[in-house]
Chain A
Amino acid sequence: MSRDAIVLLGVNHKTTPLAVREKLALAAGYEEPLRALGQLEDLREYYLLSTCNRVEVLFTCRDVERARDRVLDLLFGQAITNAEAEQYVYRYVNAEAVEHLFLVAASLDSMIVGEAQILGQLKEAYRHATKVGSSGFILNKLLHKSFSVAKRVRTETRIGAHAVSISYAAVELGRKIFGALAGKKVLLVGAGEMAELAAEHLVAQGIAEVVVANRTLQRAVNLARCYNGRAVSLEELLDQLRQVDIIISSTGSPDLILRKEDVRSVMRERRNRPLFFIDIAVPRDLDPGINDLDNVFLYDIDDLHNVVEMNKSERDREAVKAQRIIAEEKLKFGKWLANMESTPTIVQLRAVVEGQVRAEVEKTMGRFDGMDEQRRQGLERMVAAITGKVVFPALHYLKTDNHCIGMPERIKTVRELYLLDTTTGEQEES
């Protein structure tokens, strides 16, 4: 009478290189894979999450090993080999799975810690799961809990309100220059990991459009697709400068790709609307003199590092606080699960005792069916009352926290005492 296990399988930006993640991403949306998972009879409840940085599947099942292999085979089998799956896919069970989900929801597992976008993606994924009816009692509770944990982390710590990384610092600077970032356009020059990271953060702030310029157009197209943006070639750079507001440059070019004079002429055409350049390339892509122009702001990687350093100690404190909240909530959810475990026992115990009381009453008073309504109701109440009194000590024993004896132990004791696992007929009241 043990409950189902909660299992979480997935890959994210920490464990898996981009090339593999790209292959695993669910490009065609949630519908199809969810339906495919529905075909597996090992799974009770399941849900899927796919973002640019992670693909995760969460399910409950009886036989962990078997279900895990089947799910891996179904979702990732075509894209990667077994050896690769062994290497990249992380597997969490029960408490660990719960913790991981909370970490993801609270954006502590994100590429940019504290970014707010992930919660929206989580909710979206959950909506899909409820639509096909694949989430049940346990997952509903677990996912709703993860939303409230995320909210708690956000309100009780300032993890989302401070520059927690370089790209966050860039966003904060952008806000000080442009006010709201909503409606602004960003140009990524070069499509490296860092540029991607910064872009992700900017998109979470409501950037209107992402334009990607790269030497190899294919890479630019791939990245642009990730943010519903468009790709251009490097030759169009100056043209694009007229339209965009924020430029993140990270090419591997050994020379400068933009000089002060180029930008000066563009500013005239822009009627001096501000431009914010972020140069995260080493060696630098942009002429440091650009910063001297009016209404143009240039930050390179060292400048951003300094900004981050100023916020660092604060961020560390906030992250510790957030971890504490997660641990606390994990514990609470564990308790809820444990209680869940005892519920079937309670139901069964009540049913057994009530059956016996009823049988004895009927033996003396005659069958309930033949009685007049008033008398029958009186006797029903009596049966319920006796049942309640008899099972009370057992329920009390089950539900009160007992530090010496664990919940499974207590359930076992009750089941043995009341002979709940032996065949009916031999049952006796103790």
Chain B
Amino acid sequence: MSFLLFQSSVVVYLLATAAYLVFFLTQKNTLRRTGRAIFLVAFLLHTANLIARAFEAGHTPITSHHETVSFFAWSLGCCYLSFRWRYVVKNLGAFVSLLVFGLMLIAAFSSRTMLPLPPALQSWWLPVHASTSLFADGFLALSCIGSIMYLLQEREIKKKRFGLFYSRLPSLETLDKLNHHCLSVGFPLFTLGLITGSLWAKQAWGAYWQWDPKETWSLITWFLYAAAVHQRFTVGWRGRRVAILSIVGFLSVLFTLWGASFLLEGVHTYVA
């Protein structure tokens, strides 16, 4: 059941991405509405998939690599839709759907077997810690997308050569606001993820912090974002510099997600 839902949501995400990309190039408004509707359908299918899998596995489905990446994609969709509801950011959908689809592809190619949970992980900390962290990642991913768009747009305006992006991307102000919003939600969530993880570690292994690679990299990421947020609120950094910091921060998030798990050994290795 969950398998079928997952498959179909990947296909529908692909359709949504295609619609958004064609809209990005042609700027036909009907396509945007179609793209949004398809994206929403894909998102609902995906939600159903997560619920079905939770029932089949008997625990929150954020343990294997497949589940983690899939949940990451879902939280990104959530953040995007929550943002879409409050602000209008022209053509954000094209970028977001591309990333969501990419994540879903990665999830699709990793093993989907459901393995029993080791006793150490059987705790209600699991949903709290994992979902908070992944939601934080969703917001940070959105901030990274906003930053990339900002840099593209700013480059064209500064260089005074208007190509593909000038008319298609929203104003710098809007993109900066998107980044601001995502950082001010994503960073506290990320901090919360670190704290809950630490409390859970105390409960499961008896120590708050054990310097395993994933923890270390999370801390590095946290410092990167802390720097961005600090500079933003005290010195009034904005625009380009914060955008670059956000992108670097998100690369660090990705490394924490994959690099720290596959390249470096530690307690956070996925169950699968």
Q: Which residues of A contact B (CB under 8 A)?
A: 173, 175-179, 270-274, 291, 294-295, 297, 299, 303, 306-307, 310
**Across the interface, do B157 and A310 meet the contact criterion of CB distance under 8 Å?**
no
**Across the interface, do A295 and B239 meet the contact criterion of CB distance under 8 Å?**
yes
Shortest Cβ gap from A74 to chain B (Å): 49
User: Within the complex, which residue of A177, A272, A273, A294 is in contact with B171, where a contact is CB–CB below 8 Å?
Assistant: A177
Known: A173-B157, A176-B157, A274-B239. 10 other contacts (CB 8 A): A176-B153, A176-B166, A178-B172, A179-B172, A179-B173, A272-B236, A273-B238, A274-B173, A303-B160, A307-B162
Q: Does B36 have its Cβ within 8 Å of any Cβ on chain A?
A: no
| Chain B residues whose C-beta falls within 8 Å of the C-beta of A291 in the assembled complex | 158
Q: In the complex the two chains form, what is the Cα distance from A297 to B172 in whole Å?
A: 12
Could you jot down 19 A-B contacts, CB within 8 Å?
Answer: A173-B157, A175-B171, A176-B157, A176-B171, A178-B171, A178-B173, A179-B171, A179-B174, A271-B235, A271-B238, A272-B236, A272-B238, A274-B172, A291-B158, A295-B238, A295-B239, A297-B157, A299-B160, A306-B160
Q: Does B241 have its Cβ within 8 Å of any Cβ on chain A?
A: yes
Shortest Cβ gap from B1 to chain A (Å): 46
User: Within the complex, which residue of B160, B162, B172 is in contact with A177, where a contact is CB–CB below 8 Å?
Assistant: B172
Interface centre among B166, B173, B241 (most CB of A within 10 A): B173
**Across the interface, do A271 and B236 meet the contact criterion of CB distance under 8 Å?**
yes
Q: Does B237 have its Cβ within 8 Å of any Cβ on chain A?
A: yes
Contact with A along B158-196 (1 / 0, CB 8 A): 101010001000111110000000000000000000000
**Across the interface, do B236 and A310 meet the contact criterion of CB distance under 8 Å?**
no
Q: Does B240 have its Cβ within 8 Å of any Cβ on chain A?
A: yes
Shortest Cβ gap from B21 to chain A (Å): 22
Nearest CB in chain B to that of A175: its residue? B171
**Top 3 A-B pairs, shortest CB-CB distance:** A271-B236, A179-B173, A179-B171
Q: Which residues of B contact A (CB under 8 A)?
A: 153, 157-158, 160, 162, 166, 170-174, 235-241
| Chain A residues whose C-beta falls within 8 Å of the C-beta of B241 in the assembled complex | 294
Q: In the complex the two chains form, what is the Cα distance from A295 to B153 in whole Å?
A: 12
CB-CB under 8 A for A272 and B237, given A176-B166, A179-B174, A307-B162: yes
Nearest CB in chain B to that of A176: its residue? B171
**Across the interface, do B240 and A294 meet the contact criterion of CB distance under 8 Å?**
yes
| Chain A residues whose C-beta falls within 8 Å of the C-beta of B172 in the assembled complex | 176-179, 274
Shortest Cβ gap from B91 to chain A (Å): 13
Q: In the complex the two chains form, what is the Cα distance from A175 to B162 in whole Å?
A: 15
| Chain A residues whose C-beta falls within 8 Å of the C-beta of B239 in the assembled complex | 272, 274, 294-295
CB-CB under 8 A for A310 and B160, given A175-B171, A274-B173, A295-B239: no
| Chain B residues whose C-beta falls within 8 Å of the C-beta of A299 in the assembled complex | 160
**Across the interface, do B240 and A295 meet the contact criterion of CB distance under 8 Å?**
yes
**Across the interface, do A297 and B171 meet the contact criterion of CB distance under 8 Å?**
no
Q: In the complex the two chains form, what is the Cα distance from A360 to B157 in whole Å?
A: 86
Shortest Cβ gap from A168 to chain B (Å): 14
Q: In the complex the two chains form, what is the Cα distance from A290 to B241 in whole Å?
A: 17
Shortest Cβ gap from B162 to chain A (Å): 7
| Chain A residues whose C-beta falls within 8 Å of the C-beta of B236 in the assembled complex | 270-273
User: Within the complex, which residue of A177, A271, A273, A294 is in contact with B157, where a contact is CB–CB below 8 Å?
Assistant: A177
| Chain B residues whose C-beta falls within 8 Å of the C-beta of A303 in the assembled complex | 160
Nearest CB in chain A to that of B177: its residue? A179
Shortest Cβ gap from B243 to chain A (Å): 10
Shortest Cβ gap from A308 to chain B (Å): 12
Q: In the complex the two chains form, what is the Cα distance from A273 to B235 in whole Å?
A: 11
Q: In the complex the two chains form, what is the Cα distance from A356 to B191 in whole Å?
A: 99
**Across the interface, do B240 and A177 meet the contact criterion of CB distance under 8 Å?**
no
Nearest CB in chain B to that of A294: its residue? B240
**Across the interface, do B238 and A310 meet the contact criterion of CB distance under 8 Å?**
no
Q: In the complex the two chains form, what is the Cα distance from A179 to B174 in whole Å?
A: 6
Q: In the complex the two chains form, what is the Cα distance from A306 to B170 in whole Å?
A: 21
Nearest CB in chain B to that of A271: its residue? B236
| Chain B residues whose C-beta falls within 8 Å of the C-beta of A173 in the assembled complex | 157
| Chain A residues whose C-beta falls within 8 Å of the C-beta of B170 in the assembled complex | 179
Shortest Cβ gap from B27 to chain A (Å): 12
Shortest Cβ gap from B238 to chain A (Å): 5
Nearest CB in chain A to that of B156: its residue? A176
Nearest CB in chain A to that of B238: its residue? A272
| Chain A residues whose C-beta falls within 8 Å of the C-beta of B160 in the assembled complex | 299, 303, 306-307
Nearest CB in chain A to that of B176: its residue? A274
| Chain A residues whose C-beta falls within 8 Å of the C-beta of B235 in the assembled complex | 271
Q: In the complex the two chains form, what is the Cα distance from A299 to B173 in whole Å?
A: 18
Shortest Cβ gap from A302 to chain B (Å): 9
Q: In the complex the two chains form, what is the Cα distance from A270 to B171 in whole Å?
A: 20
Q: In the complex the two chains form, what is the Cα distance from A173 to B160 in whole Å?
A: 10
Shortest Cβ gap from B239 to chain A (Å): 5
Interface centre among B153, B160, B173, B241 (most CB of A within 10 A): B160
Interface centre among B235, B239, B241 (most CB of A within 10 A): B239
**Across the interface, do B162 and A297 meet the contact criterion of CB distance under 8 Å?**
no
Q: In the complex the two chains form, what is the Cα distance from A334 to B158 in whole Å?
A: 51
